[in-house]
């Protein structure tokens, strides 16, 4: 009988940091062991994120956050917060993305903005 894949899963290596570049976010076990990384494939310095990809990403983040990871969108960070990279890219609508996730979380919890 084969064991579950996740038992044998090795830690990721995309972001080896234990804290954000500004030192304000600290992950004692390291970002790869403490966070869920979501990748939007593409070069968002040169191209726009499609609306379908944007909406799918919002739904995924809302589902993960509502599933117990955290109660708000303030834990969504760009890769560039932890490494000197330009991820997700200057044409990726990161602030809009986080705002949209936040609005969707409030709507699903029945909380309206005052």
Per residue in 22-79, pLDDT (tens digit) is: 999 888 777 777 778 888 999 999 999 999 999 999 999 999 998 877 788 999 999 8
Is residue 19 classed as helix, strand or coil in its secondary structure? strand
Residue 19, strand partner residues: 26
pTM of the predicted model as reported, rounded to 2 decimal places: 0.80
Q: Which residue has the tokens 């909380």?
A: 111
Largest CA distance in the chain: 55
Written as six digits, the tokens of 98 are 């986080």
């Amino acid at each position: 009988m084969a064991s579950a894949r996740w038992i044998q899963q090795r830690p990721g290596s995309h972001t080896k940091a234990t804290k954000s570049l500004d030192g304000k976010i600290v992950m004692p076990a390291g970002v790869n062991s403490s966070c869920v990384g979501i990748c939007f494939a593409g070069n968002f310095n040169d191209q726009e994120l499609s609306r379908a990809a944007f909406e799918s990403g919002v739904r995924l983040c809302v589902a993960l956050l509502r599933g117990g990871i955290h109660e708000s969108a303030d834990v969504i960070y760009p890769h560039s917060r932890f490494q000197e990279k330009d991820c997700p890219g200057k044409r990726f609508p990161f602030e809009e993305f986080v705002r949209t996730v936040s609005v969707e979380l409030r709507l699903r919890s029945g909380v309206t903005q005052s």
